[in-house]
Amino acid sequence: MKENIIKITAIIGFVAFSLSSCSKENPPLVYFPDMYFPVAYDPLMKADIAYSDHENEIPAFVKNNGATGLGPVNGTVSHDVDGVADVAMNAAMTPDQYNGGYDESKLIVASPLNPANQKKDIERGKGLYEKTCSACHGTAGDGQGPIVVSGAYSGVPNYADRQITVGSVHYVLTNGRNSMGSYAGQLTPGDRWRVALYIMSAFKGGVNPAPAATTAMPMAATTVDAKPADAANVTTSPKK
């Protein structure tokens, strides 16, 4: 009797074990399936959820062909209303690429904005300059803004001492330069050109200086109180 009980238990145990353990098609219950089958999906495409046939029923997503990345809402104002954004400018750059781009930007003596609006653009640039830049650069562009005069901050150049063009001012505003930070987050692409136009017209004798002024390009970076690291980068700037 006792032997039979052991045999029967062993048989039942074996059957239960073989039924439960070897079925790949029907894995045992999984709690939190997202943790076992993480779903990497493209928000601009219909999500393909590995463990569920359930369709997304949220109307906004259904209307969007199942994609969860929605477009801007109606009435959204474009950051680049002027349509002059240079996407490549916002990409991550190596120091060589940065310096190559800076050198190239010095050759740009005209903004991509419509020249017919230049007077208005410069006026707007003046307002933005006085709000955004003059604290350091001074309303006269001489680097004697109130922060500098107070002694709290130094190293702000007089624009007269810098070899700059409308393109290079725009480049510095977009990407920053040494202790001068980028203003890409504060000024729209078009407004960066407007401020650059204002600086050239107010402090550099005109928005389109003779291109001859740009031939002494490599000099510019070394005449400033450039940090040693910067000077080293400037001397080795193959364009990529």
Where does this chain bind ligand HEC (CB under 6 A)?
132-133, 135-137, 153, 155-157, 162, 164, 168-169, 172-173, 177-180, 183, 195, 199, 224
Least CB distance to ligand HEC at residue 235 (A): 16
Please give the Cα distance from 201 to 179 (Å, whole number): 24
Residue 46 backbone phi and psi in degrees, to 5: -65, 130
Q: Which is nearer to ligand HEC, 66 or 123 (CB)?
A: 123
Q: How far is CA 171 from CA 3, 21, 62, 99, 176, in A?
A: 90, 65, 43, 11, 7
Beta-carbon contacts of 10 under 8 Å, excluding residues fewer than 6 positions away, are none
Look up residue 41 and give its DSSP letter.
-
- Picking from 110, 102, 109, the residue whose alpha carbon sits closest to that of residue 212 is 109
Least CB distance to ligand HEC at residue 74 (A): 32
Least CB distance to ligand HEC at residue 131 (A): 9
Least CB distance to ligand HEC at residue 159 (A): 7
Beta-carbon contacts of 105 under 8 Å, excluding residues fewer than 6 positions away, are 165, 167, 168, 170, 171
Residue 167 CB neighbour total at 10 angstroms: 22
Q: Which is nearer to ligand HEC, 58 or 219 (CB)?
A: 219
Question: For residue 234, what is the enclosing H or E element?
Answer: helix 228-235
Q: Which is nearer to ligand HEC, 20 or 222 (CB)?
A: 222
Q: Which is nearer to ligand HEC, 169 or 207 (CB)?
A: 169
Least CB distance to ligand HEC at residue 224 (A): 5
Q: Which is nearer to ligand HEC, 68 or 139 (CB)?
A: 139
Least CB distance to ligand HEC at residue 191 (A): 9
Beta bridge partners of 180: 177
Report the amino acid identity of residue 145.
G
Q: Which is nearer to ligand HEC, 118 or 134 (CB)?
A: 134
Beta bridge partners of 178: none
Q: Which is nearer to ligand HEC, 126 or 162 (CB)?
A: 162
The residue whose Cβ lies closest to ligand HEC is 133
What angle, 0 to 180 degrees and rounded to 10, lies between the N-to-C axes of helices 189-203 and 118-132?
90
Least CB distance to ligand HEC at residue 30 (A): 55
Length of the chain: 240
